[in-house]
Amino acid sequence: MTDFSPLDIKHVCRREASLTAPPDNWGCLMARAQDGDRYAYRALLTAITPYIRALARRALRDAADIDEVVQDVLLTLHEIRHTFDPNRPFAPWFATIARRRIVDRVRFNANHTAQKMASTAALLTETPSGTGEPHQEEQERLCEAINALPARQRRAIELLKLRGLTLREVSQQTGMSIGSLKAATHRALKTLRRLLSE
């Protein structure tokens, strides 16, 4: 335990924690939360959430991803709140946790997307190994799913995955930027995966 007593904390902190506490008060709120003050803890978590969201938005686009990473940061902060030292500033402690969780999320997404793209591409280019009905049914479902995609995503999938063109070639042909093509393919694969697993 540090020699930072709850009395000192109360002296430094405001008695009534506001739900929109300013950043300079966060350290005090966390110190009180460490002592079991649930109101201060709630005020702190509520106050820092927009900041986490803003940090996450810089690295992630998908709203669901941003929501998940915000929750991940809040849970991590909760798990290791005992590591905060009230004698030191709150901002570096909080920023490192938030940054690390966001970076981990981005890495996870990158790996996950690569895996999904590889497996879906394998599914799309698979050659029939038998002539049974189930395979034909699968192909029909796949065609239906591709037809159900929005026009840009369908075009990206058809050109990149079915015709096997490169990103540069498709970009020249469609006028879409390489970034938009990647995003469209990612979204298309995500939708296809969901539709095919239903």
Partner 1 sequence: MTNIDSLITSLADTAVPVRRLRPPLARASSWFIFAALVILSLAVLKGLHHDLALRLARREFIVELVASLVTSFGATLAAFYVSLPDRSPFWALLPVPGLVLWAFAMGFGCYADWIRLGPSGFILGTSFECLAFIVLSTVPLSAALLYLLRHAVAVRPISTTILATLSVAALAGAGQSLTHHSDTTLMILVWHAGTTGLLLAIARLLGPQFLRKVVSRPAPAATSLRTALK
* Sites of contact with partner 1 (CB under 8 A): 1-2, 4, 33-36, 38-39, 41-42, 45-46, 49, 64, 67-72, 74-76, 78-86, 88-89, 92-94, 96-97, 100-101, 104-105, 107-109
DSSP string, 85-106: -TTS-HHHHHHHHHHHHHHHHH
CB-nearer residue toward partner 1: 67 or 144: 67
Minimum CB–partner distance for residue 4 and partner 1 (Å)? 7
Phi, psi of 165 (to 5 degrees): -75, 160
35 vs 41: CA distance, rounded Å: 10
CB 153 within 8 A of CB 176: no
Minimum CB–partner distance for residue 61 and partner 1 (Å)? 15
Q: What is the DSSP letter of 16?
A: S
Minimum CB–partner distance for residue 45 and partner 1 (Å)? 4
Minimum CB–partner distance for residue 8 and partner 1 (Å)? 13
Work out the number of other CB atoms within 10 angstroms of the CB of residue 174. Answer: 16
Query: At residue 81, what is the residue type?
Result: R
CB-nearer residue toward partner 1: 64 or 122: 64
Which is it for the CA torsion 160, 166, 171, 174, positive or negative? Answer: negative
CB-nearer residue toward partner 1: 42 or 154: 42
Work out the number of other CB atoms within 10 angstroms of the CB of residue 68. Answer: 15
CB-nearer residue toward partner 1: 84 or 159: 84
Minimum CB–partner distance for residue 58 and partner 1 (Å)? 17
CB-nearer residue toward partner 1: 93 or 159: 93
CB-nearer residue toward partner 1: 90 or 159: 90
Minimum CB–partner distance for residue 1 and partner 1 (Å)? 5
From the list 83, 103, 104, the residue with the least C-alpha distance to 93 is 83
Q: Name the token pair of 31.
A: 């110190």
